[in-house]
Structure 1
Amino acid sequence: MEKVAVLGAGSWGTALAMVLADNDHDVRLWTHKQDHANEMNQRRQNEKYLPGVHLPEKIVAYYQLDEAVKDVSTVLVVVPTKAIREVCSSLNKVLDHKVTMIHGTKGIEPGTLKRVSEMMAEELSNDLYNKIVVLSGPSHAEEVSQRHPTTVTASSTNLKEAEKVQDLFINENFRVYTSPDMIGVELGGALKNIIALGAGISDGLGYGDNAKAALMTRGLAEIARLGSSMGANPLTFIGLSGVGDLIVTCTSIHSRNWKAGNLLGKGHDLAEVLDKMGMVVEGVRTTRAAYELSRKQNIEMPITQGLYQILFEDEKPKAVVDQLMTRLRRHEMEDLSSILSNRYSTQSE
């Protein structure tokens, strides 16, 4: 039994706190709002983010960060990408001992183009952790909270740290694999949100399953092209944090990114969509970052570029999708060859 602080009481943070509680750990679930903490402690519910779900007694909610992390052995950060730096900076002031540091956030920071673990490493004192571990994979919070079978990946450059996290979370409903490819696991989890926006737009336009299957397949090629150019193992993208996460996010009614795209495809503008969602849609922010990354890496990403035009340049969804479907002909195997070429050239550098 361990004491674990989960920082971020949204749907995913709460669901992961439930997994830890099921494993008999003492869980401190931190939110920055006092009334939110009071609701969870008194009513045993997190009505806004996981309506109808009963919170186990092993979960205690906190709104003061110093109390939440006191004497814990593990800290799990599950806040939106835009809040990562602020939360980690605050941790430096209140955490006075070394912990196992995990994050479950899927995104890339626009401007710096940093992955979440890189943002954390820049903000956190080196004395507070050994190596950061990322927890990622096809895992909707709604299903995890219902204890439906789920499988994810714990990844770190330090295998022992990844195995610690594996042991912390694994149970009969929540299976955890380990991977050394942190770059691939983080990029797969972040970039699939862009393709999910596209899948939602396609569905909102009424284009059907054939179009969505093509979009997902070509989207996976884009993810692998960019990821391999940055040092990821291409095989990661046919695993849980690649194609697995892509499938669940592009096809599920629980997917915020699919829902947002669906509303865009039906003619709503971005500001209206984000207002309707009421929760963070990471794919919007990640689209900007991935577009910038593709230009920096000189990687062709037509779907990402098209979504960038829809989100930030007011292009009409139908015009962009039609343009994608009429692009110049090419051989499908060219993508595989270029991905593998990037991988091996990166290894040799």
Structure 2
Amino acid sequence: MTQVAVYGSGSWGTAFAAILADAGCRVTLWARREDVVSSINAERVNADYLPELRLPEGVRATTDFAEAAEGAEFAVLSVPSQTLRENLARWAGVLPADAVLVSLMKGVELGTAKRMSEVVEEVAGAGPERVAVLSGPNLAGEIAQRQPAAAVVACRDESVARRLQAACHTPYFRPYTNTDVVGCELGGAVKNVIALAVGIAEGMGLGENTKAALMTRGLAETSRLGLAMGADPQTFAGLAGMGDLIATCSSPLSRNTTFGTNLGRGMSVEETIAVTRQTAEGVKSCRSVLDLARRHGVEMPITETVVGIVHEGTSPRVAVKELMSRTAKAEHR
């Protein structure tokens, strides 16, 4: 039986632990807080994040990160993107030398503009053949209800991707393999930024035309950046690209869209953070995504607009006017 360590007991880490156990794995879920561990082990519930999900018996929890790592064939990382480097620096020494390191995170590191797999490789000293990512339209609340869903598991080594695919394939969760790690990660990171834009439009009372335009042109921005970084363009038409973008921008379960909606209604960033219990990755990652785009000479006007609203105090109405007044151009340039 495959042994898996999951580091991070938030909504997605908890939901993915359930997927793995439903697929037949033994899962040790690391949580920072003792009360979360006690609740999971005694009551089979993570009351703080997914109270509706009864965890399978194959999941047990611990606050000891070394204990979680014991015998793990896969070490799944599910923490906020901007905390990965610090956390992994503590965990790396106890992870089995042959364990596959799996990133569930969808962000770009501030300062370095590195993708999460690049941070994992650097901090853990792992080659790309030991680092995988999982991405796709996977809202944790729906996964908790075991509704049918699909995802992409990507690794430079296709045989590793197939191993991970087998470890998380259940009757309700269908993973596909891919070797385009860059494309899968960019799709997951940039869609959070576009979801903020769509949420802002929603909060301003703008309609479906506006939101559809933002999603479509947002996907174009993602694709331009991906092509500049050597990604496969087909990735952005798949689950890790268009699929994740649609789910995140369309669902009230989306943290980033909800965050943007509050901004569009006139709340400040600080007020919105105060009423948001969970991390909206796009809030911090929008700056690092824009930094990454500028390093590659790629124009990303929607991302730039979101940065202006979230970090530079630009009024949403002024930002929309500026975005719409840009010079007209051909669609596919």
Structure 1 counterpart SS, 2:50 = coil
Question: Within 5 Å, which residues of 2 pair with 1:117-266?
Answer: 117-126=117-126, 130-266=129-265
What TM-score do the two structures reach when normalised by structure 2? 0.97
Structure 2: distance between partners of 1:96 and 1:137: 27
Equivalent residue number for residue 6 of structure 2: 6
Deviation at 1:245, TM superposition (A): 0.4
Equivalent residue number for residue 110 of structure 2: 110
Structure 1 residue identity aligned to 2:156 = T
Structure 2 counterpart SS, 1:333 = coil
Deviation at 1:125, TM superposition (A): 3.2
Per-residue CA shift, 1:146-167, capped at 9, x if unaligned? Answer: 1101100011110011010011
Deviation at 1:196, TM superposition (A): 0.2
Q: Is the 8 A contact 2:52 2:144 kept in 1?
A: no
Structure 1 counterpart SS, 2:38 = helix
Deviation at 1:10, TM superposition (A): 0.4
Structure 1: distance between partners of 2:305 and 2:48: 33
Question: Within 5 Å, which residues of 2 pair with 1:64-83?
Answer: 64-83=64-83
Could you say what the CA RMSD is over the residues aligned between the two structures, in angstroms? 1.3
Deviation at 1:285, TM superposition (A): 1.2
Structure 1 residue identity aligned to 2:167 = L
- More off after superposition, 4-13 vs 292-301: 292-301
Structure 1 counterpart SS, 2:279 = coil
Structure 2: distance between partners of 1:100 and 1:94: 13
What TM-score do the two structures reach when normalised by structure 1? 0.93
Are the structure 2 counterparts of residues 96 and 72 from structure 1 closer, same or farther at C-alpha, using a change threshold of 3 Å?
A: closer
Structure 2: distance between partners of 1:219 and 1:130: 30
Deviation at 1:54, TM superposition (A): 1.2
Per-residue CA shift, 1:91-143, capped at 9, x if unaligned? Answer: 2322344212211111000110000000011100349x942010111110111
4+ runs deviating over 4 angstroms: none
Aligned length, in residue pairs: 333
Equivalent residue number for residue 62 of structure 1: 62
Structure 1: distance between partners of 2:195 and 2:64: 35
Structure 2 counterpart SS, 1:152 = strand
Q: Is the 8 A contact 2:199 2:264 kept in 1?
A: yes
Per-residue CA shift, 1:155-189, capped at 9, x if unaligned? Answer: 11100110100111112210011111110000001
Deviation at 1:326, TM superposition (A): 2.5
Structure 2 residue identity aligned to 1:15 = A
Equivalent residue number for residue 21 of structure 2: 21
Structure 2 counterpart SS, 1:202 = helix
Deviation at 1:52, TM superposition (A): 2.1
Structure 1 residue identity aligned to 2:29 = L
Structure 2 residue identity aligned to 1:333 = H
- More off after superposition, 83-92 vs 274-283: 83-92
Structure 1 counterpart SS, 2:130 = strand
Structure 1: distance between partners of 2:83 and 2:43: 27
Deviation at 1:235, TM superposition (A): 1.5
Per-residue CA shift, 1:262-286, capped at 9, x if unaligned? Answer: 0000000111111211111100111
Structure 2 residue identity aligned to 1:111 = G
Structure 2 residue identity aligned to 1:208 = G
Structure 2: distance between partners of 1:56 and 1:11: 15
Q: Is the 8 A contact 2:75 2:95 kept in 1?
A: no
* Identical aligned residues as a percent: 41
Q: Is the 8 A contact 2:88 2:124 kept in 1?
A: yes
Structure 1 residue identity aligned to 2:26 = D
Structure 2 residue identity aligned to 1:124 = A
Deviation at 1:325, TM superposition (A): 2.0
Are the structure 2 counterparts of residues 125 and 294 from structure 1 closer, same or farther at C-alpha, using a change threshold of 3 Å?
A: closer
Unaligned runs of 5+ in 2: none
